[in-house]
Structure 1
Amino acid sequence: MKHVSLANARANIAELLDEVERGETVTISREGGRSVELAPPFDESNREDARRAIEELKQLRKKSGPATAEEIIAWRDEGRRF
């Protein structure tokens, strides 16, 4: 997510809109702290993909059973270099 001032947004609105079209979310802030977000339009097909993925994860969790704290820590640390 990119943050810009209102003055910067006014000067570079075309570039900011290009970024939003590419999928970036841009937050424009006023001096008084108020802000607004410019975001790409929501793609309804992504919602269905997300729901399907969540259901698959729920089914997987039913099969695998609970995890211990040690297992969770090992998964977190897997591949890390200390």
Structure 2
Amino acid sequence: MRSAVPAPEAGFELGEAAWPAELAWPAHLIGVVLAPEEDEAARAEARDRDNASAAAGWTVRTAVEWGAGEIFGSGRLRHRGEGRISRCTGS
């Protein structure tokens, strides 16, 4: 049985700064990232990552920030050939 959702890429690097995403769907510009540590430097780095990702057209959030079914149930992810999602690259 074929899954209705494409598999993510694990350990993906976002943009020129190679921001790490634990899981990513590059064709759809969606990523799951780690939550920052509790110190201010880590939170600032996470803000920079999120801002750079958004500027490149990506939607990145931590696993907790994604709502149940938000990625999979909303039609955001489709197999190639099952509809087009516009893509913006940050390169």
TM (norm. structure 1) is 0.27
Whichever structure has more helix as a proportion of its residues is 1
Larger C-alpha radius of gyration, 1 or 2?
1
TM (norm. structure 2) is 0.24
